[in-house]
Amino acid sequence: MSVRRPTAADRSALIERLGGARAVDQASHRAHVSEEGAEQGVALWIEPGPGGEPYLGTVKAAPENRKLFYQLIEACARDAFERGYARASFTVRDHRLLSRIQRDFQVEPQAIGWDAGSGEPVEWDVLVDLEDALGQLRRVIDA
Amino acid sequence: MPELTVQPAKDSYLSAVAKDTNYGAGQFALVRVVYAGDLKLAWERAIGNFDVSVLAGATIESAKLVRHVWSLPGGGGHDAIISRCTRPADWVENQVTWNKYRTGANWTAAGGDFDDAVPGAITYSEPTSTGDHEVPGLKPHVEDALANRSGIVSLLIRLADEDPDVDQGAGWRTKEYGADVWRLTIDYTLPPDAGRRSLSGSRHHRAPAVRPGSPVRPAAGTRPATAQRPSVRRPR
């Protein structure tokens, strides 16, 4: 299974999968879809405005298809890297997902949000070097 | 003319996509909406308190908000609104969220309680490039704070259009960042009978020196301590 940039033929499926046309029509939003189409999987990264860094917006793939999940992320990372960015970030709001990411990758999440009652971290920003991330992603996908 | 620069005594942002999460120890404030399809990936408002009580008795000539803008999702140029938060003393920096101003106490309206009438809200355009950005016209907010709010200028900032259909926003540095902190800069004059009175004798503290090379981000999993006292640079 591979991942590609969407074509005009993917538009309807892409809009349906992402819930609206905004992500398709904004030039700063760059989607990647499964070779079989957006129904199988889609990921979106956001090209930053001044001062920002590329941001992984969303990844949608069947939970059991971890390989496709990471291939979609890899496609976004490669696209950002080829467009001249050295670093990118994404946000995690699920501790279990964070643990899974930390099992598969060497990353350094930074707590940026806390539970207002307990003070425990509940939101993390993960800033990655894209070249390093691409290497790590390839090893996990090939494993 | 003497000038007073006041850094926030407390600051944070409120997130409508994580309504019970607190960002008070974060190093950036955000006012933005970012989409992925119909879903808003981000929707935030900034909040901050500035203690100008040291200026009691002074005549306020002008006041501006200065932010070091570091990020402009969508490219900037959009409008945002500065309003007076109506719970200046109530909201707690390490507890405030979109839903609550402190643990167990909901805002009257989710997203923070504010008044756009007294003093009048300020609509301004975000810049299109990063760096220091000034919003003039906060003199009424400072005068109102001195007259009616125990000297606390409490600001809540939001996008003028929070359903813009395209990404919009700005991020700037909070007091936790340690440098380029957002601030109020106030030109004032003292009354002729002020005699030897000097603001240098106030209870406020000088802004802490910035340590070169200080970490940009807190260590993972830690919640940096947040100072509760305002940092005031004495008039030059």
Q: Which helix (H) or strand (E) holds A98?
A: helix A95-104
pLDDT at B212: 29
**Shortest CA gap A8–chain B (Å):** 17
Length, in residues, of chain B: 236
Q: Which of the residues B17, B19, B21 would you substitute to probe the A interface, choosing the one with the greatest number of A C-beta atoms within 10 Å?
A: B21
Mean pLDDT value of segment B197-213: 38
Cβ contacts of A111 on chain B, cutoff 8 Å? 218, 220-223
**Shortest CA gap A1–chain B (Å):** 24
Which DSSP state fits B207?
P
Dihedral of the alpha carbons of B53, B57, B59, B64, in degrees to the nearest 10: 0
pLDDT at B159: 98
CB contact under 8 A, A49 and B103: no
**3-state DSSP assignment of residue A104:** helix
Query: Which among A20, A58, A111 is the nearest to B221, CB-wise?
Result: A111
Which residues lie across from A110 on neighbouring strands?
A: A125
Q: What pTM was estimated for this model as a whole?
A: 0.87
Mean pLDDT value of segment B17-43: 94
**3-state DSSP assignment of residue B138:** coil
B residues 21-60 lying closer than 8 A (beta carbon) to A: 21-26, 34-39, 41
Cβ contacts of A122 on chain B, cutoff 8 Å? 18, 21
pLDDT at B224: 40
ipTM score for this prediction? 0.91
Both tokens assigned to B123: 């609509």
Cβ contacts of B223 on chain A, cutoff 8 Å? 111, 114, 119, 121
* Angle formed by the axes of helices A130-142 and A66-82, nearest 10°: 150
pLDDT at B231: 33
Please state, in angstroms and rounded to a whole number, the distance separating the CA atoms of residues B94 and B225. 9
Residue pairs spanning A and B at CB distance below 8 A: 125
pLDDT at A130: 98
Query: Which among A93, A119, A124 is the nearest to B223, CB-wise?
Result: A119
Which residues lie across from A29 on neighbouring strands?
A: A46
Cβ contacts of B224 on chain A, cutoff 8 Å? none
Please state, in angstroms and rounded to a whole number, the distance separating the CA atoms of residues B101 and B115. 16
B residues 1-20 lying closer than 8 A (beta carbon) to A: 15, 18, 20
* Cβ-based neighbour number of residue A27 at 10 Å: 7
Please state, in angstroms and rounded to a whole number, the distance separating the CA atoms of residues A87 and A74. 13
Chain A residue nearest residue B91, CA to CA? A116
pLDDT at A19: 87
Query: Which among A23, A112, A117 is the nearest to B36, CB-wise?
Result: A23
Please state, in angstroms and rounded to a whole number, the distance separating the CA atoms of residues B4 and B189. 11
Mean pLDDT of chain B: 86
pLDDT at A40: 94
B residues 81-120 lying closer than 8 A (beta carbon) to A: 94-97, 100, 103
B206-220 tens-digit pLDDT: 333 323 233 233 333
Reference A68, options A34, A92, A101; nearest CA is A34
B107-152 tens-digit pLDDT: 999 999 999 999 999 999 999 999 999 999 999 999 999 999 999 9
Please state, in angstroms and rounded to a whole number, the distance separating the CA atoms of residues A102 and B134. 41
CB contact under 8 A, A28 and B74: yes
CB contact under 8 A, B38 and A28: no
Query: Which among A19, A48, A110 is the nearest to B217, CB-wise?
Result: A110
Reference B225, options A114, A108, A95; nearest CA is A114
* Cβ-based neighbour number of residue B202 at 10 Å: 15
